[in-house]
Amino acid sequence: RGVVPAAIDWMVQVIARNAEAGHDRVHARPNKSAASSATKMQEDSESAVDRMDVDVEDDSENTDDSDEERSESMAPLGLAQQSYAGTHSNPLGRPHVFSPEAASSSAAKKPDAIARFHEQRAAMLGATGSAGHGWYLVLHADDIHSSTQIADAIREFLGTSNYYTDSLLQKVIRALRLYGQLVIWGNLETVSQIGATQFHLWMDRDGVACGRVGAMMVERFNRLTKHRLFCGLVTRDELMMEQRAVALLQWLSEVARSCDPLCQAVAECILPNRHLVPLLRADFKMSARVTKAWYSLLLTLLAVPTFKSHL
């Protein structure tokens, strides 16, 4: 009774969260608040420039005097009218005031929030992959896309410089359908893409190398998400944890199948709100091997009436 709750808690706290994190890494989008704040700042800057233009026009209307009137007003003081010739003439008799707000365009002042988001995202992905000993891009199978659509997406993902026959791509698609998922990018492909030196720098958490690898991974999984394929980005450590989770679930299934009292004990340790809800919420995002072992355990525990009512 102490081992089974701890094992299921580990499934919820580690495996389910890793699955959701792998999905969010690929399908993350810029924060709407950042974009709205950037738009508001642009509107404020444009309105400030408009107000400055209106003030200048009002001043020009109030000081629209002729040269003779100004000469007559300055004559009693013994002052002669000066000639403001040249490109920097100021007929209003005022000193020039340089305004950066009026000189710069609104487009130049607008903060590029989306570009900053992608830069931070690439740096974060590079640092996370370095801490997790490498990135692995996992493609999940679905019932929506046809084999032709998946083949076109994989061909574009691999690039036009590499030639892959249709028969080879069909073998890849059959393996994807059979196992439910397929790792189509890993450390070996990363080394071949950036070189061994940059890879070692990335593993040493060099800032420039982390940003380069992160941007490369973003560019890679964008080729798949453009075709609306479902994929996840996981580290090597997370892949190892998935293998442990499969072994753990298989062990729990064997324990539950051994006898009815043990099946009852395992079912009582899996709580509805604490375990079932988080695991079922992350069901589609978890590894295909994990979900297969999880379904097998659930089918075994359905023999317990209380557990069946919880589902």
Per-residue pLDDT tens for 87-115?
444 544 555 555 555 555 555 444 577 88
CB 22 within 8 A of CB 233: yes
Q: How confident is the model at residue 311 (pLDDT cuts 50, 70, 90)?
A: confident
Please report, rounded to a whole number, the percentage of residues in the chain having pLDDT higher than 70: 72
Instruction: Give the per-residue pLDDT at 98.
Output: 53
- 68 pLDDT above the threshold of 80: no
| Banded pLDDT at 173 (limits 50, 70, 90) | very high
Classified as helix, coil or strand, 175 is helix
Q: What is the pLDDT of residue 171?
A: 92
Q: How far is Cα 127 from Cα 78, in angstroms, rounded to an integer?
A: 75
Quote the pLDDT of residue 306: 84
pLDDT of residue 185: 93
Mean pLDDT of all residues in 47-56: 48
pLDDT band at 158 (very low <50, low <70, confident <90, very high): confident
Q: Which of 121, 115, 136 is nearest to 215 (CA)?
A: 121
Q: Distance between CA atoms of 285 and 242, rounded to whole angstroms?
A: 12
Q: What is the pTM of this model?
A: 0.69
| DSSP string covering 45-79 | HHHHHHHHHHHHHHHHHHT---HHHHHHHHTTTT-
Q: List, for residues 200-247, the tens digit of each pLDDT value.
A: 999 999 999 999 999 999 999 999 999 999 999 999 999 999 999 999
Give the model's pLDDT for residue 52.
Answer: 46
Residue 39 pLDDT greater than 60, yes or no: no
CA distance 137 to 217: 8
The span from the CA of 186 to the CA of 225, in Å, is: 18
Per-residue pLDDT at 79: 42
pLDDT of residue 2: 79
Compute the mean pLDDT over every residue in the chain, rounded to the nearest whole number.
79
Residue spans of alpha helices (H) in the chain: 3-10, 17-27, 32-62, 67-74, 100-103, 106-109, 113-131, 147-158, 166-179, 187-194, 196-203, 207-225, 236-258, 260-269, 277-281, 288-301, 305-310
AA letter at 87: T
- Which 8-state DSSP code applies to residue 11? I
pLDDT at 257: 92
Provide, rounded to the nearest whole percent, the portion of the chain with pLDDT above 90: 43
Annotate 51-65 with b (16+ C-beta within 10 A) or e (fewer). eeeeeeeeeeeeeee
Is the pLDDT assigned to residue 58 strictly greater than 70? no
How does pLDDT run across 245-265, given as a tens digit for each residue? 999 999 999 999 999 999 999
